[in-house]
Amino acid sequence: MAPTMKTMDGNTAAAHVAYALSDTAAIYPITPSSPMGEIADEWASQGRTNIFGDLVEVRQLQSEAGAAGAVHGSLAAGALTSTFTAS
């Protein structure tokens, strides 16, 4: 079986990896990371699951500090977590 290849930009590639390996994602869409968060949010709303067969819980926060706080809390609770912000 020949491997399939996809052409995509870096934001989309990063979203693929982060979504596949996360339980939760805290997003604060801001340039240059907006596409990553928007892609993850779209996939979650479509019911797309991660590699563990679970739906990724995506939350949009009101600031970068809020996203950072959400990540710390999620990690402390034992969740595999990603964030998409500019910082």
**CA–CA distance, 62 with 17 (Å, rounded to integer):** 24
Residue 13 has pLDDT above 80, yes or no: yes
Identify the architecture of domain 10-84 in CATH: 3-Layer(aba) Sandwich (3.40)
The model carries a pTM of 0.86
Which pLDDT score is estimated for 87? 60
Residue partners of 83: CB distance under 8 A and separation at least 6: 25, 26, 27, 28, 67, 68, 70, 71
pLDDT band per the 50, 70, 90 thresholds, residue 84: confident
Judge whether 67 and 33 are in contact, CB under 8 Å: no
Which pLDDT score is estimated for 29? 82
**One-letter amino acid identity for 85?**
T
Across 44-60, b (16+ Cβ under 10 Å) vs e yields beeeeebeeeeebebeb
- What is the per-residue pLDDT across 30-79, written as a single tens digit (0 to 9) for each? 888 788 999 999 999 999 999 999 999 999 999 999 999 999 999 999 99
